[in-house]
Amino acid sequence: MAGDTRRICARAQEEGGRTVTKVLGIESSCDETAVAIVEDGHHLLATSLTSSAQIHALYGGVVPEVAAREHAMAIMPVLDSVLAHSRLSLSKIDGVAVTQGPGLLGALLVGVTFAKSLAAALNIPVVGVHHLQAHLYANALEESLHFPALALLVSGGHTSLLLWRNYLQWEVLGETRDDAAGEAFDKGARILGLAYPGGPEIERLAKRAAKKSLRLPVADMAGTLDFSFSGVKTAAKSLWQAHRDEPEEVAYALQDAVIKALMKNIERALARYDVKQIYVAGGVSANRALRDALRHLGMVRNINMSIPRIEYCTDNAAMVAALGYYRLREGQTMGGFEGPRPLWPLATVR
């Protein structure tokens, strides 16, 4: 398959020597079913997404079996929508990229099986990508990437800080030792009796805080670049029990503590590594207060701070296709017997 990939990447030459590769990306790691077509790793031709979040909200969180069923029903209509919007036929697709993990096993299985079947039918290569790394490539859809850079991945299930050396070269500098930042928001929202998903609800409520005088602890992981958010979740519960008449203030305190923990480790990383570029990605990067704090830091430190548009912060297939382009360009493909990898530590990706 590696030879097929090199043949495909070499065959579509335009005037001026530019290689054109159209990659179809598939995302199904949690509750969004998404398909996109990206050209040259940065030019989005079409994207489509459907979410089962409203169904899961009835249960207060994602139900794996329900998610898998919804993916199976949605994936063909979403693909048809992308092809219609791009005005492309499947014969124009050069490769397929799919989220291989981490994520919910059943949900991943739908996407991986569909991607491998589609690639086999079209006789084109398919590559599995790491969901978190794919989030970083949402930035490639906005602007040219510059290295070396720091990268903050912050989502509902993961929080990581990386040194991004080149397109496919990373070093994990720090990760969460327990809960992720987004999980702290979700659990905090549940404590306050807010709807799922909790992140947007915490942000909405925090905006209405007037006094902003309540405080929650910010974990310090002994000078490392690791994160911990389980303590702030527990402290938020105690704070809520003591201030039940001030939900806005409790929400603000939780949001403020999470953001301070993220910013503290970015500052520490900047003291250790000489970089002039920071990339941020993941669902929590849609939080306006976090975006403001990051942009302020970039301005003060004279560092270019790149944060994707809101629609590219959450799970999508364009980021999968963008990363897939670079992996396919290197001849990387998914083996015939490879399947989903629901537990896939970021530090083990090569």
pLDDT 10s digits, 133-152: 999 999 999 889 999 999 99
* CATH, residue 67: 3.30.420.40
DSSP 8-class letter at 42: T
pLDDT beyond 90 at 48: yes
Strand partners, 263: none
Q: Can you give the pLDDT at residue 207?
A: 96
Distance of CA 97 to the CA centre of its chain: 15
Q: Which residues contact 204 (CB under 8 A, 6 or more apart)?
A: none
Q: What's the rounded Cα separation, in Å, for the pair 159 and 284? A: 9
> Does residue 322 sit within a domain?
yes
At residue 3 the predicted structure's pLDDT band, cuts being 50, 70 and 90, is very low
Size of the chain, expressed as the number of residues it contains: 350
> Does residue 216 sit within a domain?
yes
Q: What is the per-residue pLDDT across 7-43, written as a single tens digit (0 to 9) for each?
A: 444 443 332 333 448 999 999 998 899 999 999 999 9
217 and 110 part of one domain:
no
> Does residue 214 sit within a domain?
yes
Q: Can you give the pLDDT at residue 180?
A: 92
129 and 166 part of one domain:
no
Q: Can you give the pLDDT at residue 58?
A: 75
Order of strands across the sheet with 304-306?
169-175, 159-166, 149-154, 277-281, 304-306
115 and 201 part of one domain:
no
164 and 114 part of one domain:
no
12 or 293: which leads in pLDDT: 293
133 and 154 part of one domain:
no
Q: What's the rounded Cα separation, in Å, for the pair 312 and 333? A: 25
> Does residue 341 sit within a domain?
no
Q: Which residues contact 46 (CB under 8 A, 6 or more apart)?
A: 36, 37, 82, 83, 85, 86, 88
The parent domain of residue 61 ranges over 2-138+313-336
Q: What's the rounded Cα separation, in Å, for the pair 113 and 126? A: 11
pLDDT beyond 90 at 220: no
181 and 284 part of one domain:
yes
> Does residue 348 sit within a domain?
no
Number of domains into which the chain is organized: 2
> Does residue 343 sit within a domain?
no
What angle is formed at CA 325 by the lines to CA 324 and CA 326, rounded to 5 degrees? 90
Structure tokens at 284: 């929590």
At residue 62 the predicted structure's pLDDT band, cuts being 50, 70 and 90, is confident
The residue type of 31 is: D
Instruction: Tell me the helices (H) and strands (E) count for the chain, helix number first.
Output: 12, 10
294 and 326 part of one domain:
no
DSSP 8-class letter at 260: H
Q: What percent of the chain has pLDDT over 70?
A: 94
276 and 155 part of one domain:
yes
* Cα Rg of the chain (Å, integer): 20
126 and 239 part of one domain:
no
Compute φ and ψ for 211, nearest 5 degrees: -80, -45
Q: Residue 217: is the preceding peptide bond cis (ω within 30°)?
A: no
68 and 191 part of one domain:
no
Q: What's the rounded Cα separation, in Å, for the pair 234 and 305? A: 32
Give the three-state DSSP class for 66.
helix
Residue whose tokens read 């017997």: 337
183 and 298 part of one domain:
yes
Q: Can you give the pLDDT at residue 101?
A: 94
Q: Please state the pTM of the whole predicted model.
A: 0.88
208 and 300 part of one domain:
yes
Q: Which residues contact 345 (CB under 8 A, 6 or more apart)?
A: none
